[in-house]
Amino acid sequence: MSSLRNSVARAIALDESGDYEKAIESYVQCIDIIMNEMKNEKDNKKKDDMRKKIESFIKRAEHLKLELKKSTISDDMFPAVPNDELVATSPSEFKSEVNHTPSSNDLLSKEEIAVLMETSLINGVKYVPFMDIDLKEKFVGNGKFKDPDGLLKLALKQKERLKGWKRVSEISPKPVIIDKIDCKSVKQTVVSDCSFVASLSITSEYENKFKKQLITKILYPQKNGIPIYNPYGKYMVQLYINGIKRKVIIDDLLPVGENGKLLCSMSKNSNEFWISLIEKAYMKVMGGYDFPGSSSNIDMYALTGWIPERSPLKTTDPDNPVDNELVFNKLFHRYHQGHCLITVSTGKLSKEEQERTGLVELHAYAVLDLREIDGTKLLKLKNPWTHFEWKGNYSDTDTEHWTPRLMKALDYDPKSSQNNDDGIFWIDYKSLIHFFDVFYINWDPNIFPFKGVIHDSWSAGTGPVKDLYTVSQNPQYTLDVFPEYETTSIWILLSRHITEISDFEDNKEYITVIVYEGGNKIYLPFDVKPIHNGARINSPHYLGQLLIKGKGPKKYTLVVAQYEKSKTILYSLRVFSTAKIKLKKIISQYKFNEKLNGMWSSNESENKSSFLIVLDDSSDKNNLVFEIKAPKQYHASIYLRLVSLKRPTHNSFETASCDKYRNGYNVLELKDVPSGTFKIEAKTYTENQNGPFFLSIQSSCKFRTKPA
């Protein structure tokens, strides 16, 4: 049995990693093991169970065979991963998006439209959602187009060198938007946007590797799907900003310095301008070239809409060590299937370390390739500056580690590379772990066939500043999942909308998503243990990842949470899944509510800790929720006692109370309460305590309250 368990575990692991050929082999191995065991099994019930297992393994193996056949159709778009010196992987099929973000407002609720329109105003400029009709944008006019929003703010280094603003046609006698997409041509200059430029490098490398448009499809005007030069100087860029694709209009005026040299990111090909124009559009949204800096997964999301993930290479928590072997293997397989885009960033480095290593501190590098050869893990990186390269192991000056076999496998000659300081270099994974801090990854959303999204807001005045004791007023959502296989992958992306550069620069909103089983409203955050309790982070994007086991319908509750809520936030909540899903907001079913001010006091005339509630309804199946909020030093509880029934009933309700005393907050949720009069008592665990409290009552029926 242990060999069967091991084979099943291996098959599932290979299946989930996308290595379908090896997964099929493992499923066949499982079938062989079970068939051999059946020969000696005499129990008919056990034999039936074995047959069912065989049928399920055959069904899954046949499904994977179909997936492999489908993927071979896309060979031109996704060339096979090179097998020489690489673990064999096969490019998987890119599926069309299901439940995709609509291109018109027809599928959005009024509330969602209001959220998306409110966050269209970014840094004082309006960027409306990108609609199908925008593909017919007019790019011609009377004379050269001039952006009515004016020139972009310049960074300090640009101001110091600025000689003026010139149009593309003034910079080059033969301007083109795209001559040849090549990551080597992408060059950062004086703008502090290394993460953004690294993103441009990776997306251009992706287009070369997989022969599929990614970055070039967002720039207009186009001819046959390719961006073209516009002599009128008007361009449009499509960016994923604040929950949806948005339309950004720019002119082609670019800042130049001495001798007409561009003071923005540029192509090494002086006639090519797609890099400068896309950068200008993004910098416009970000408030200008005086960009405070970002992380590359945030920039990449804006450019592509691919799911952003942050994967640290180090941790200070000894209880949660980073499995760097697992991280590399995941990235290695998925990168070569075209599923992800990767950058890696350094942390703090001393001047001595920077001089010795050739690395730049707090700097983003594009990951252009990952290889594993004879057990050595290597990564090909690019510095957006297009100079300053790694000087350590496997650099072009390393005379110790390079072997003829290795150089042949990588088609790389360190000596000839020394003559070309283009910022591109190889580095071994061990060195990368030592000198770098974090991988920034963006995942193709189309690896998930099912998606759901809700655009929503959370008012600053709703609920407490800290949700330590209750999440009853936090936004909550029910997620229905309908798994057909034993494992289902669910990713939850919470994206906070940002409308001011100051908010982006000094982000004080720490957001997360907490996940519970059940699908019901949650009042007490830790009364039921969450299956996912994400750390609160001050990033515009929070990503939570779940692996659900077992077939059959399941329900979950998603709770949006913050560390210290200081202002109203608007956000988009997206769910990506390998199984069918349904995402909807939990809206209170209680039509009637009242908030009472109470007081615990030893002075009888001041004491207001007891109330009467009268349920005057024709039903004897009423639902109620009582919530008490008090200073956190008070351990409070709620008691409800029947005084009299409105009419005789079979309902035997007499008393109810909270299951225990809790500090600062407590809740009593009741179902099927008969109509009548009840006494409510708010109590503290310690007698004779004095102080105020609030008692909130929500009910499915009309009610009246009065002092007891």
Catalytically annotated residues? 194, 363, 383
Pairwise CA distance, residues 183 & 367, whole Å: 11
- DSSP sequence for 274-330: HHHHHHHHHHHHTTSS------HHHHHHHHH-PEEEEEES--S-TTS---HHHHHHH
What would the two tokens of residue 263 be? 């003071």
Cβ–Cβ < 8 Å for 412, 368: no
Sign of the C-alpha dihedral computed for residues 590, 594, 598 and 604 taken in this order: negative
Q: Is the previous residue joined to 475 through a cis bond, with omega within 30 degrees of 0?
A: no
Alpha-carbon gap, residue 533 to 530, rounded angstroms: 6
The CA distance from 225 to 213, in Å, is 9
Q: Give the sign of the dihedral formed by CA 98, CA 104, CA 110, CA 116.
A: positive
Backbone angles phi, psi at 667, to 5 degrees: -140, 145
CB count within 10 Å of CB 79 equals 14
CA dihedral 317, 319, 321, 327 (to 10 degrees): -110
* Residue 295 phi, psi (nearest 5): -120, 150
462-467: Cβ within 8 A, 24+ apart: 463/565, 464/565, 464/629, 465/564, 465/565, 465/566, 466/563, 466/564, 466/565, 467/525, 467/561, 467/562, 467/565
Asked if 615 and 651 count as a contact pair (C-beta separation under 8 A), the reply is no
Residue 176 — φ and ψ, nearest 5°?
Answer: -130, 155
Considering Cα of 260, then 266, then 268, then 272, what sign does the dihedral take?
negative
Tokens encoding 41: 């099994």
Is there a contact between 123 and 499 (Cβ–Cβ < 8 Å)?
yes
Place of tokens 């448009």: 213
In whole angstroms, what separates CA 380 from the centre of its chain? 25
CA distance 496 to 301: 13
Report the candidate in 367, 380, 434, 389 with the shortest Cα–Cα distance to residue 409: 380
Residues recorded for the chain: 708
**Cβ neighbours around 287 below 10 Å, total:** 20
* Residue at token pair 């949470």: 561
- Exposure string (b/e) for 574-609, b if CB count within 10 Å is 16 or more? bbbbbbbbebeebeeeeeeeeebebebbeeeeeebb
